[in-house]
Structure 1
Amino acid sequence: MTTVLIPAYEPDERLLQLIADLKAACRCGIVVVDDGSGEAYGELFHSARQAGCIVLTHDHNLGKGRALKTGFAFLKKAGETGGIVCADSDGQHLPADIVRIAAAVDEHPDHIVLGCRHFTGRVPLRSRFGNQATRLVYTLTTGRFVMDTQTGLRGFSSAMLDWLCSIPGDRFEYEMNMLLQARGDGYPIHEVPIDTVYLEKNKSSHFRPVADSIRIYAPILKFCSSSVLSAGLDFLLLFVLQFVTGSLLAAVVGSRLCSAIFNYAMNRRYVFVKKDAPRLIESAPKYFALVALIMGLNYGLLILFHEMVGIPLFIAKLLTEGSLFVFSYWCQRKFVFRSRSQAGGRPPKAYVKRYKKV
């Protein structure tokens, strides 16, 4: 039997309506996680219990990611063997779509099932822009396209519960981290189209535009920060070494070498952090080979854009640096700092865990 997991923070009557509609639409268990809504919402959660739901409670607000992990941990401890579908409490996920996700989990038990909106019709600007931005970040980061990276309607098999509890993040970034880790940990994604529903221009959303966006875009932001700091170091050392040595060539080579070493150390330590990260002797040669490749590509693209196509040098430089920024990020994530288990061709831990009894 499928269990529907609903994280809820300061919900309204739409939560109770969703519960009633689910009870009428299918035979499923329902677990609601009260993420520290407070005493004012006690009666509403009591009504959810009266309707046959299991209600788990946080003493104070810990975030959507933590609420989901509380639910996953409960289901794991309870010995859940069926599928799990996560849905939002604000009525934006229709019972019919929840049932379709549950069916897709049964058909694709080794996949993460996403209920994907197509953002047609009247969609709040914040929601449209937010999804486009996170979709771009996801594509740049993984090289894969997902229509709706922010969907809260997701389905999983019970075999994934250990993995779901281990994903970092306590707030909205948890769902993005899940997608970023999925493929590398052996979980492909299956998309199911669902209706796009926004009530009152998505006013009930607890998404904090600044704080939660920073958490979601952290992988790209950290890479940008590392690149900016490295460029600043390169700029500073160029003048210092020129003053000390009196040689422009020595200053250029020395500053670029030092900034590259600094950038490598930053990316290895803070940007591409993985549990089974490659050793220094494995990643360093790849990184500096990439540096050499990018230097060659930089020159080649400038020749292409400026001299062959006729684009002004300033614009050609912007196009070149932008293209190489994306290329560098993708290469470092995909090849330079690739985890040892994947680089060695061994099955990801997730696959080993799921199939060890076969």
Structure 2
Amino acid sequence: MNSILLIPIYEPSDKTVRFMKQLIATLPVPIVIVDDGSGSEYHDTFQQFVQEQHVHFLSYPINQGKGFALRYGMRYIEKHFPEKNGFVTADSDGQHTIQDITRALEKAQFIQSNQIILGIRSFSKEATPTKSYYGNRLTSQLFRFATKIKLEDTQTGLRVFATIQIPNLVAIKGNRFEYEMNVLLALKEFEWDLETFTIETIYENNNEQTHFRPIKDSLLVYFPFLRFLLSSLTSSFVDIGFFMLLSLVLGKAGEMIFLATLLARVTAGICNYYLNKQFVFSDEAPVQKSSWKYLVLFIAQLVISGVSVSALSTIFSSLLIIKLFVDLSLFFFSFQIQKYFIFNHTT
């Protein structure tokens, strides 16, 4: 089979040992197992299932997180198995059946260099643990908002990649569970097509074995979205604060309101550009590559905001409410343009 399997493991349980023994006995493909710093007390546990000839066992002393472990294994695959067309990442807790992993390995044999294939679970409220059900729903909606891609299962660990994609994959940031979300957010940047296939949905013992930390790791998963929101809120506070100050100084005549909006937007725009470039999208390209695009968006928003606020001020008395309404409407438009046009390195 022209594919390889990569599995990160942290503190394997008896259930993990049973599953891995069965998996290794069933699959004849090379299997790269990464011990994500479980510690010396788990040495004998790993030795129960890593002795087979087609198993490649990697380890390091300190726990680094799933994202780190995946990249660690990818580098090994790139160095030792460059001839393999594709590889599969899977979890060790039994959430992926051997049959589904086998199907993924078959797909990896023929995956194209511009493809990513995900094994997608179907979620029902009755059959899914509460934290997993609502976590997946929230993440799915946020992901759709950010990328315009409808994906029911953004947290699946059963993924198929082309080996040639490894240099890009190891460059993606994130050491823990947020890494897998960051890979999906990079689809547009690397111009990768997303394909899916349905797999069995398995949650045993209310998913208690997972090492996913609901609060801390959820914040890491949602952090790419939160960064843009924080940047926008910061710029909005600058915009609104400066606008209200200028409106007090210049007065509330229609032309003065437009001027106050103009000056406030310029100040907030400069702030927002640098926050988004450095903090949100981590754009290392020269300023001149993105600044002119941002300027076009900035002018468009400036005109729309100024005209809208000025016009609505003749109907409604509260300038603050008018300003908030107009800018909230522009928020969604601005995110999409910046994500896919201004700070997209491939454009």
Scaled by the length of structure 2, what TM-score is found?
A: 0.85
- Residue aligning to 2:66: 64
Q: Alpha-carbon deviation of 1:327? A: 2.2
1:43 aligns with 2:37: no
- Residue aligning to 2:111: 108
Pairing 1:62-101 to 2, within 5 Å after superposition = 62-82=64-84, 83-101=86-104
CA distance in 2, matches of 1:270, 1:287: 19
- Residue aligning to 1:331: 337
State the AA in 1 paired with 2:19: L
Q: Alpha-carbon deviation of 1:177? A: 0.8
CA distance in 1, matches of 2:321, 2:270: 29
Between the two proteins, the alignment pairs up a number of residues equal to: 332
1:295 aligns with 2:288: no
- Residue aligning to 1:348: none
- Residue aligning to 1:351: none
Secondary structure of 2:59 counterpart: strand
Contact 1:298 1:321 in 2 (8 A): no
Contact 1:32 1:55 in 2 (8 A): yes
State the AA in 1 paired with 2:148: G
Q: Alpha-carbon deviation of 1:107? A: 3.4
Q: Alpha-carbon deviation of 1:295? A: 2.3
Deviations 1:233-269 (A, max 9, x none): 22332344356x4444244432232122222222222
State the AA in 1 paired with 2:271: F
Secondary structure of 1:197 counterpart: coil
Q: Alpha-carbon deviation of 1:31? A: 1.4
Gaps of 5+ in 1: 308-313, 344-358
Q: Alpha-carbon deviation of 1:315? A: 11
State the AA in 1 paired with 2:289: R
Pairing 1:1-358 to 2, within 5 Å after superposition = 1=1, 2-52=3-53, 53-82=55-84, 83-110=86-113, 111-120=115-124, 121-242=126-247, 245-248=249-252, 249=256, 250-276=259-285, 279-292=289-302, 294-295=304-305, 323-339=329-345, 342-343=346-347
State the AA in 2 paired with 1:175: E
Q: Alpha-carbon deviation of 1:222? A: 1.2
Contact 1:264 1:287 in 2 (8 A): no
Secondary structure of 1:6 counterpart: strand
State the AA in 1 paired with 2:277: R
Identity %: 34
Note closer, same or farther for the CA distance 1:320–1:206 as it changes in structure 2 (3 Å cut): farther
CA RMSD of superposed structures (Å) = 2.9
Contact 1:48 1:55 in 2 (8 A): no
Q: Alpha-carbon deviation of 1:297? A: 9.4
Secondary structure of 1:112 counterpart: strand
Contact 1:114 1:155 in 2 (8 A): yes
Scaled by the length of structure 1, what TM-score is found?
A: 0.83
Q: Alpha-carbon deviation of 1:39? A: 2.0
State the AA in 2 paired with 1:295: S
Q: Alpha-carbon deviation of 1:186? A: 2.5
> Mean alpha-carbon deviation: is it higher for 216-225 or for 171-180?
216-225
Deviations 1:146-169 (A, max 9, x none): 221100011112222222222111
CA distance in 2, matches of 1:322, 1:239: 17
